[in-house]
Structure 1
Amino acid sequence: MADDDELREFFERSGGWIESDTGQGPDNQPPRPPRSRRAMRRSRKRKRNKRIITCVVAFVIVALLGVGVVVGTQKIAHWRNALHHGTSSIADYDSAGEGSVEFSIEQGENPDQVGQRMADKGIVKSAAAFTSAVAANDLTLYPGTYTLKYHMKASMAAAVVSDQGLAKGFLEVKAGERLNDVIDNAVKESGIARDDFESIIKGGGKGILPAEADGNFEGWLEPGSYNVSDGSSAKEIMKRMVDARVSKLDEWGAPTGEARERLLTEASIAEAEVNSTQYYGKVVRVILNRLDKGMTLGMDSTVAYGCNTSGTQLTNDQLNDASNPYNTRVNKELPPTPISNPGDNAIEAAMNPPQGDWLYFVTTNLKTGETKFTNNNAEFQKLVEEYKTQNENAN
């Protein structure tokens, strides 16, 4: 007789009863006879071997996954160590370098691009070392031309190009900066003679300025960073700054024609009068209210501009000099031109000043910049006294 395994396999293979081709039901068909014992033993052996192979493959897969997790964890830990505790595992030089080489960073370049160019020039050993140093120290790279060395430790090279004071060849135009200051810096950074810039300014900016500027560059130079070491002429540099200003105003939907010049003038006064962006809009509203009432603006910032000095250096004679067209203490209406190159915040405030009936304002606290606004002269006089008291205490 067949043993239990043979009988079990027999019934597994037979799958119950099989209908015949004659259409008789399953009750009329006997089961097929079992195979030989030898065939059944071979079948059991194959099944046993298949189970063993399946178990071995599963074990190998689990083992490989485990090794992958361990290796991956080690890689991540290694990268974190390199990022936060140095770049010893990344190809890097150990010295401050040798020789001297000029290296320029263009506006908009990222650390990866800068690091690769440094590596290509032999300044750092690898781009990875440089980008790791930038990330680990949370550095900001500034456009400009820098004096570096060959074979520098990456962290040293990163420290140099993240120091804006060491950048050369790039003109930085600041919000609220006057035309004369911009030209001084342009001459210094470009190496172009001041006479070249002055001839363009005195010539009324033909081919550079829009008609509404009426030949005056003040207010029409867009703050930002400009490469002036690329061989550009004085005219090309000036045009680049003016084009950037016009493009920004067009993008913002600023009014055109004379209204645009007026906008820049109002914005420049607001930026010069207070040192906090939160007050720009209110100052513009004061300007508009006083003009509507036929009052003088009474802004020391405009008087100072006409005298080519600062508000704190004005004398009584200068404050009363009616021959100064920028003296808004004496002359009504806006000054003939903007008094600086206003930045984004001041221009936005001039485009959308808040509603209010203010006619006066005083920066009562010079340290914090706190400025108070009022619509009557009596309150204004109290604010002036408050300013004097605080200013005396500060001294």
Structure 2
Amino acid sequence: MAESINDFFEEHAQEVTGTGEAPTPAPPVPPKSRREMRSRRKRRHRQHTLAIVIAVVLVVAVIVGAFLGYRKVVSLREANERAQQASQIQDYKPGTEGDPVSFTVRQGEDVVSIAKGLAAAGIVKSEAAFISVASGPSTVLYPGTFELFMHMDAASVLAILSDQSKATGFLDVKAGERVSAVIANAAELSGIDLAAFQAIVDGGGQGILPAEAGGKFEGWLEPGQYDAKSAKNASALLKEMVDRRIAKLDQLGVPGGDQRERILNMASIAEAEVNQPDDYGKVVRVILNRLDKGMTLGMDSTVAYGNDVAPSKLTDQMLSDASNPYNTRQRKGLPPTPISNPGDNAIKAALDPPEGDWLYFVTTDLSTGETEFTDNDADFEKLVQKYKTQNENAN
């Protein structure tokens, strides 16, 4: 009620002038209704709120404008600094190359480290010259040893280091490759005598192999690239391969001890028998099913390994030779060791093979690698005949 009375007096109060005469009183104005007074109050409230909103918007606009202006100034200053730096980069001119020189990029080495090495070797004039051309998001620098020249311009150096075909000196260990092939390539690329590698392999790898390997390197060399050119000796290079393998097995969650060797053994057979990753697990399941039934594995890949030949070079005499400990046609159980260095996909398949009753498989299409699986003798004979027919047609 007090507020209504105040509103009434504010509406009807009269100003007193300084003439000394009382003004002629005006006829009384009927009091306004409460509804109209409430309406006036609402209008004044809305006007007050609108004024506050407009003030806030103006303040925000001023702040945003100041911020954008600041960013523009900073951007211009940074661009100016980059331009000044670019003008100060020291680089050799194209066509001023000097004597040839070999330069090695190590696996995982970053642009800054490579730039320092190039500058220290006198190949580029400054680290900044190479960094300025090699720092783009699409730049790929490959590991390896490259043939360069003294006093090259940075762009020409980048063109060579980003061309994998020009890299030499790096050993590429492939999934499914045998130890004999790995050490032969390692000797050729490193310049270390093959006999040094062979002596370590034949001697059981003491201080290099884990106990569960049983002194045998097969299966224990991790596929990947290795700087053979920079290797100090055969032992150091082999140890790097084994250490990487152990780290990878730990990463994949492969159980330790004898179980680890067993997983590598089955994975190596799967790697050698088929070339489609989706089939690795099925091959492992065939191995497990045949072991459970007391059957021989009957894998040509193991027989070939025991004779140090490719599976395509097997003879009837080799297949019937029971004295070969790797002849799983004649002997039950897994072979004494893995028969290659399996890759990640084959190892994962050996860890978790799919369920199935398969006992046989035949790669019926050699051109595509298509492999078919079955759980009975009759279907197996049909698959063998299908393979022979397609192979004859191919020839």
Q: Which residue of 1 is the match for residue 383 of structure 2?
A: 383
- Displacement of 1:137 in angstroms is 10
Q: What are the residue-to-residue correspondences of 1:361-376 with 2, within 5 Å?
A: 361-376=361-376
Cα distance in structure 1, aligned partners of 2:269 and 2:199: 27
Q: Pick closer, same or farther for the CA change 1:116–1:378 going to 2, 3 Å.
A: same
Q: More deviation in 328-337 or 107-116?
A: 107-116
> Residues 137 and 246 (structure 1 numbering): CA distance in 2 closer, same or farther, change over 3 Å?
closer
Judged with a 3 Å threshold, the aligned counterparts in structure 2 of structure 1 residues 108 and 366 are, in CA distance, closer, same or farther, namely same
* Aligned ranges 1:1-395 → 2 under 5 Å: 93-95=93-95, 97-125=97-125, 130=130, 138=138, 140-395=140-395
Name the amino acid aligned to 2:298: G
Output the CA distance in 2 between the equivalents of 1:162 and 1:100: 18
Residue 26 of structure 2 is matched in structure 1 by: none
**TM, length-normalised to structure 1:** 0.73
CA gap 1:131/1:375 in 2 versus in 1, 3 angstroms? farther
> CA-to-partner distance for each residue in 1:169-188, whole Å, 9 max, x for gaps?
43222211100011111111
Separation in structure 2 between the aligned mates of residue 279 and residue 88 of structure 1, nearest angstrom: 58
TM superposition outliers: structure 1 runs of 4+ over 4 Å: 27-30, 64-69, 87-92, 125-139
- Provide closer, same or farther for how the CA distance between residues 331 and 91 of structure 1 changes in structure 2, counting only shifts above 3 A: same
Q: Are the aligned partners of 1:122 and 1:150 in contact in 2 as well (CA < 8 Å)?
A: yes
Q: Offset at 1:261? A: 0.9
Mapped to 1, the partners of 2:210 and 2:183 lie a distance apart of 19
Which residue pairs with 1:47 in the alignment? none
Q: In the comparison of the two structures, how many residue pairs are matched?
A: 330
Identical-pair percentage: 57
Q: Is the 8 A contact 1:221 1:242 kept in 2?
A: yes
Please report the TM-score for the alignment, with normalisation by the length of structure 2.
0.73
Are residues 281 and 142 of structure 1, via their aligned partners in 2, closer, same or farther at CA, if it must alter by over 3 Å? same
**Partner Cα distance (1:231, 1:366) in 2:** 39
TM-superposed deviation, 1:132: 6.7
The secondary structure found in structure 2 opposite 1:371 is strand
Contact 1:95 1:151 (C-alpha < 8 Å) held by counterparts: no
2:25 counterpart residue number: none
What runs of 5+ residues in structure 1 fail to find an aligned partner?
1-26, 31-57, 80-86
Moved more, 236-245 or 122-131: 122-131
Q: Secondary structure at the match of 2:113?
A: helix
Matching residue of 1:83? none
Secondary structure of the corresponding residue to residue 230 of structure 2: coil
Tell me what 2:35 maps to.
none
- Measured on the aligned residues, the alpha-carbon RMSD in Å equals 3.5
2:39 corresponding residue in structure 1: none
* Cα separation, 2, equivalents of 1:387 and 1:207: 47
User: In the alignment, is the contact (CA less than 8 A) between 1:96 and 1:156 conserved in 2?
Assistant: no
- Displacement, 1:112? 4.3
Equivalent position amino acid for 1:263 in 2: I
Q: Which residue type is aligned with residue 149 of structure 1?
A: F
Q: Judge conservation of contact 2:296–2:333 (CA < 8 Å) in 1.
A: yes
What is the Cα deviation at residue 385 of structure 1?
2.3
Counterparts of 2:313 and 2:135 in 1: how far apart (Å)?
A: 45
